[in-house]
């Protein structure tokens, strides 16, 4: 599926739409793959529904996950009541899951791989991350692992900075394209007309001296932290790993925005589910 979606970016729209209509070539592959995904996913929904029917306190369970959130209604909440018609639809849960899986799995796995490699090759930074974790998260752990709350994670400023720094150097989406709504002048001085497609690279932007300074090639989490030890305010137009503006990544709130509390995250998620998009652009949020 990912391959077909990628190909759609390279070919003229009329071309792939015609193939879709005729059900040939790559577009036929897309149809077959979607059917496999649907079969698998509707099975997961049925299993989750069975589980939820058996448990009345699903919202507090350890295995609370996004699928639970999509299927369970909170009747005390006005917004949730308005959404209940959507929430009853399995098609809605399927569409949301597809959206989140396709946009959220490869990005997180490649981002984590680069992050772990950078930490493993920078001993002092690894020590600082471990020290911060020991100081801020209670308990020695029983070796089984556990989920940390948003509140606990929001204390880990150095870890947060190290993740941002790794995404700056190795953004999982290394190039992007966008289209001008009107004629404009780019920061480089180039004039562009209306409806012009512009390709840019967050990978190169993360390595430009004029944006990040002379040490731009170094892995240095400290650049994200102010003298007071707080996370600095970096514009998403400068740190482009998640894109910026109304179509920026919705997963950013889970990945690096630790300053957003749980209620905010849930209310953002609700807005997204209703078809809106949270336009939070300040700093790392």
Residue ranges binding ligand HEM (CB under 6 A): 99-100, 103-104, 107-108, 111, 167, 171-173, 176, 241-243, 247, 249-251, 254-255, 277
Instruction: Name the residue among 265, 267, 245, 270 with its Cα closest to residue 255.
Output: 265
Q: CB of residue 282 vs ligand HEM: minimum separation in angstroms?
A: 18
Q: CB of residue 250 vs ligand HEM: minimum separation in angstroms?
A: 5
Q: Which is nearer to ligand HEM, 84 or 99 (CB)?
A: 99
Spatial distance between the Cα atoms of 285 and 55, rounded to a whole number of angstroms: 35
Pairing of β 184-185 and β 176-179? unpaired
Q: Which is nearer to ligand HEM, 105 or 183 (CB)?
A: 105
Q: CB of residue 195 vs ligand HEM: minimum separation in angstroms?
A: 17
Spatial distance between the Cα atoms of 80 and 159, rounded to a whole number of angstroms: 34
How big is the chain, counted in residues?
Answer: 285
Spatial distance between the Cα atoms of 72 and 67, rounded to a whole number of angstroms: 9
Q: CB of residue 101 vs ligand HEM: minimum separation in angstroms?
A: 8
Q: Which is nearer to ligand HEM, 61 or 200 (CB)?
A: 200
Residues contacting 271, CB < 8 A, separation 6+: 277, 278
Query: What residues form DSSP beta bridges with 200?
Result: 176
Q: CB of residue 55 vs ligand HEM: minimum separation in angstroms?
A: 24
Q: Which is nearer to ligand HEM, 174 or 213 (CB)?
A: 174
Helix (H) or strand (E) holding 192, with range, is strand 191-192
Q: Which is nearer to ligand HEM, 5 or 32 (CB)?
A: 5
Q: CB of residue 112 vs ligand HEM: minimum separation in angstroms?
A: 8
Q: Which is nearer to ligand HEM, 250 or 273 (CB)?
A: 250
Q: Which is nearer to ligand HEM, 28 or 94 (CB)?
A: 94
The residue sitting closest to ligand HEM, measured at its beta carbon, is 251
Q: CB of residue 262 vs ligand HEM: minimum separation in angstroms?
A: 15
Buried b (16+ CB within 10 A) or exposed e, 47-70: ebeeebeeeeebeeeeeeeebbbb
Residue 182 · residue 226 · CB < 8 Å:
no
Distances (CA, A) of 90 to 39, 53, 120: 12, 15, 43
């Amino acid at each position: 599926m990912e391959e077909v979606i990628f190909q759609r970016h390279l070919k003229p729209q009329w071309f792939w739409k015609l193939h879709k209509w005729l059900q040939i070539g790559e577009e036929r592959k897309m149809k077959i793959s979607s059917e496999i995904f649907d079969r698998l996913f509707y099975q997961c929904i049925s299993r989750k529904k069975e589980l939820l029917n058996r448990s009345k306190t699903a919202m507090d369970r350890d295995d609370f996950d996004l699928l639970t959130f999509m299927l369970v209604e909170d009747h005390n909440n006005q917004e949730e009541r308005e959404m209940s018609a959507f929430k009853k639809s399995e098609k809605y849960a399927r569409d949301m899951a597809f959206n989140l899986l396709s946009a959220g799995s490869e990005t997180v796995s490649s981002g984590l791989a680069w992050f772990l490699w950078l930490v493993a090759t920078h001993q002092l930074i690894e020590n600082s991350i471990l020290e911060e974790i020991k100081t801020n998260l209670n308990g020695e752990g029983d070796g089984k692992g556990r989920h940390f709350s948003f509140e606990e994670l929001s204390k880990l400023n150095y870890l947060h900075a190290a993740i941002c720094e790794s995404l700056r150097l190795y953004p999982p989406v290394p190039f992007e394209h966008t289209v001008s709504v009107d004629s404009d002048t780019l920061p480089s001085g180039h004039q562009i007309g209306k409806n012009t497609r512009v390709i840019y690279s967050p990978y190169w932007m993360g390595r430009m001296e004029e944006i990040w300074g002379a040490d731009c090639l170094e892995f240095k989490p400290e650049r994200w932290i102010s003298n007071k030890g707080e996370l600095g305010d970096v514009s998403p137009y400068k740190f482009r790993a998640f894109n910026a503006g109304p179509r920026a990544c919705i997963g950013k709130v889970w990945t690096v925005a630790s300053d957003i509390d749980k209620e905010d995250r849930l209310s953002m998620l609700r807005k997204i589910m209703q078809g809106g998009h949270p336009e939070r652009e300040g700093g790392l949020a």
